[in-house]
Amino acid sequence: MNGISTRTLRFGDKCDTAAAAGTNGMVVFGTGIDCYFSHRPMFSSPYDIQVLLDIELDERGRRALGADRRIGFGGIHCFDPEEFAVAELDPRRERPRTAFRGTLIRGHRERGWVPIAKNVLATVRAVVSFAQLDPHRHRGGELLTHLCFGRAGRLYLAHRIGRRPSFDQIVVARLIPGTVTDMLGAPLPIDVRDLEFERAQPIILGRREFTGQRLRTGEIAVAAFHATASAGETDGFLAEIAVERQVYLEVADLA
């Protein structure tokens, strides 16, 4: 963790004191084409913000990350950023932060890690999702359980962190062709291979083999999507979604 907070940051707040600075590190995931950062949130200020970012790493960062993957490292990579208030990434601010530097690391900083590139520049291409955690949120209001985002043919699901206790999970997922229907079950002529979501789409998962909020590799669920421009539907749609691989799971930080 970086920094110590003396107050709680809320949407639209400006980081006007050094004491408000703080990030809890960011999980790095994606392919050679895409790169995403997920801030590792906690329920304590100033780390109480769930943020997903579409990132462009500088050349040093891309080379270091690619080399580590080519030698067979299949574990987690994280980004330890310079000290700043994560609230500065809020896209609703007048001047949101669009870039920051830090150290690209192999592993988890608090649980064993190896730096693989220092002073790496991360440029924000898009803020995929930004939400402040509310540990007192009523459980009945948590119908939207996950966030779906990514490019065509490569989608990700992130658990939408609700009331305490919760967990942080990111998985690689795939929409199953031929399973798209309207909300009443009538088939729709949508090719899921063309669907992509630059901004995270809140979804509800249920039925089929879905056994609970924590997703497992090989699990299949029915996802209820709201209307999206890429899908061309105004009333939302249903589609089966398969979990292909877990990228990250954290429980202790959100207990």
Q: What is the pLDDT of residues 131-183, one digit of tens each?
A: 999 877 655 555 678 999 999 889 999 999 988 888 999 999 999 999 999 98
Alpha-carbon distance of 92 to 74, in angstroms, equals: 36
Of 128, 191, 192, 186, the C-alpha closest to 160 is 128
Structure tokens at 18: 């050094």
CB of 154 closer than 8 Å to CB of 172: yes
Structure tokens at 194: 């063309």
pLDDT of res. 53: 98
Across 166-175, 211-220, 233-242, which has the greatest mean pLDDT?
A: 166-175
Of 78, 65, 56, the C-alpha closest to 123 is 56
Which has the higher per-residue pLDDT, 140 or 119? 119
Span 78-100, pLDDT tens digits: 999 999 999 999 999 999 999 99
Instruction: Report CA 107 to chain centroid distance, whole Å.
Output: 18
Q: How confident is the model at residue 230 (pLDDT cuts 50, 70, 90)?
A: low
Q: Is 24 exposed, middle or buried (0-12, 13-18, 19+ CB in 10 A)?
A: buried
Q: Taking 60 as the threshold, does the pLDDT of residue 75 lie above it? A: yes
Pairing of strands 154-159, 168-175: antiparallel
pTM assigned to the model: 0.85
pLDDT of res. 86: 93
pLDDT of res. 236: 87
Q: Share the mean pLDDT of the chain.
A: 84
CB of 207 closer than 8 Å to CB of 222: yes
Q: Taking 60 as the threshold, does the pLDDT of residue 2 lie above it? A: no
Q: Taking 70 as the threshold, does the pLDDT of residue 208 lie above it? A: no
Average pLDDT over residues 91-112: 91
Q: Taking 60 as the threshold, does the pLDDT of residue 231 lie above it? A: no
Q: Taking 90 as the threshold, does the pLDDT of residue 209 lie above it? A: no
pLDDT of res. 67: 92
Average pLDDT over residues 228-241: 71
pLDDT of res. 42: 92
Of 120, 31, 41, 29, the C-alpha closest to 81 is 120
